[in-house]
Amino acid sequence: MFSMDIITLILFLLLFLLLSKVFHNNKKSKNKNFPPGPNCLPIIGNMHLFDIKNPSKTFTELSNRFGPVFSVQLGMQKMVVLYGYDAVKDAFVNHADEFADRADIPIFTETSNGHGIVFSNGENWKVMRRFTLSKLKDFGMGRKSLEDRINEECDLLVQTFKSYGGQPFENTTIINTAVANIIVSILLGHRYDYGDPTILKLMRLVDENFKLLGSPMIMLYNMYPNIMRWLPGGHRTVFKNNLALKDFIMETFTRQKSQLDINHQENLIDAFLIKQLENSPESDLYFHNNNLIMLVSNLFAAGLETTSTTLRWGLLLMMKFPEVQKKVQKEIEQVIGFRQPQIEHRKQMPYTDAVIHEIQRFGNIIPAIAPHATTQDVMFRGYFLPKGTHVLPLLATVLKDKKYFEKPDEFYPEHFFNSQGHFMKNEAFLPFSAGKRRCTGEILANAELFLFFTRLLQNFSFQAPPGTDVDITPVVGFTSAPMIHEMCAVPHHND
């Protein structure tokens, strides 16, 4: 009986704390001219309003009621939602400094502990971002050396596709490995053969985590971490996978440290290890092993998932729209012919450029990026947002903003043409986000997309296996990816 009384008391206290926090959040937001939003229920907040299978539908309904800047409460956490290009640009470009922090999201906080680049804040984030941008440039980003490295990988990818002799095959692992090899060469200084068990394991860890991070179970964990951490679920798999990835990175840099030549940096890990040897205040504060592990983990995951998923969308959409595929191939023949594609060719290929942009827009790889947080109290569009307010920018509503894209729900390369038929930039094209947290690997990703895409269409026509339909319904997790499917890579030229 006594033990039951203790349990009842603990549950009562927990319920009291939850209700207190909900009341505190509501009181705080109402007293300070917080953005409007729907009424909340105790404990669950606004969760009862959401269509779990299609949360974007709920966000659209709420935006129609409350405007492009509104608030929702998920569990006990109140957050501000930015809907559409104008609101996102206003926050991240016009108020870049005020919206530059990353929000404290339990699953990410517990896996990163504030280290690395993606989920860190303050001076740590600034130092890691400066270092990353500098070293990505040193090791080829935007330079001919990296272009050559991508083209070497293209050679191997084309040979692998040819080995199927036009018969159906599933492309996920092959494309993932090709893309992973580019970021791995920058981080570690080498590549892996297709089918190598090490790279297959690393890709499986990252892929599984990306799928789980968008699941309802992880959403529950982020809302009620103190309760959910004791229960089985996807969060435990995320932690286990993250630990395995960290162990691999630590083993790798420990081995590299024993062979380090300070006069010859071959990769980003070498450069980081050399910073450790400086014994300066900055190196002691920021260039420690925990930051190295998370930085490499962040760059590997981000450099792999988004680019490979975009490429897979590209090939699937060429299968779905063969007339677009033929136009791209015609432009490749006219501008490049049988030569090796180079980045400089892109300026002479307006149609291909528009198609790649539209693949990124339509694919909508990251519908809602990890929430930001305000770095200080800020007045934004007439509303008061206290320091630390969680801010969720819906990138999907930027890339499908009807004000900027004529046919937002269709694959329509003409979104990037002007009336004269020339390539035209669209200001609402923000697949890499905007402002202070804009993706550090944008230049690298653009180079990979152009070179891989043009080389594959130079060599193959992509078709659905006989008797099958091309389904472009996405699988939405933390990223929006194509469903697993087979394709036929039919040689485009008899060479």
DSSP-assigned letters across all residues of 90-127: IIIIITTTTT-EEP--HHHHHHHTT-SSSS--HHHHHH
pLDDT for the residue numbered 28? 47
User: Mean pLDDT throughout 421-429?
Assistant: 91
Q: Is the pLDDT of residue 367 over 90?
A: no
Distance CA 252, CA 156 (A): 25
Using CA of residue 125, residue 127, residue 129, residue 132, what is the dihedral sign? negative
Distance CA 417, CA 15 (A): 57
pLDDT for the residue numbered 328? 97
Distance CA 111, CA 419 (A): 49
pLDDT band for position 258 (cuts 50, 70, 90):
confident
Q: Is the pLDDT of residue 89 over 50?
A: yes
pLDDT for the residue numbered 494? 42
Whether the pTM exceeds 0.85: the reply is: yes
DSSP secondary structure letter of residue 389: -
Q: Is the pLDDT of residue 21 over 80?
A: no
Using CA of residue 482, residue 488, residue 493, residue 495, what is the dihedral sign? positive
pLDDT for the residue numbered 221? 92
pLDDT band for position 259 (cuts 50, 70, 90):
confident
Other CB atoms within 10 Å distance of the CB of residue 312 = 22
CA distances from 134 to 128, 138, 307, 321 (A): 10, 6, 21, 40
Contact 398, 85 (CB under 8 A): yes
Give the pairing type, strands 378-380 and 390-394. unpaired
pLDDT for the residue numbered 463? 96
Tokens of 384: 């008061």
Helices 289-320 and 322-335: crossing angle in degrees, nearest 10, is: 110
Q: Is the pLDDT of residue 24 over 70?
A: no
User: Mean pLDDT throughout 46-66?
Assistant: 90
Other CB atoms within 10 Å distance of the CB of residue 204 = 14
Residues 134-148 have pLDDT tens digits of 998 888 766 778 899
Q: Which of 21-30, 278-287, 370-379 is the most confident on average? A: 370-379
- Which of 28-32, 281-285, 402-406 has the lowest average pLDDT? 28-32
Q: What is the mean pLDDT of the chain?
A: 90
* CA triple 305-253-153, angle to 5 deg: 45
Helices 216-223 and 234-258: crossing angle in degrees, nearest 10, is: 90
Q: Is the pLDDT of residue 26 over 80?
A: no
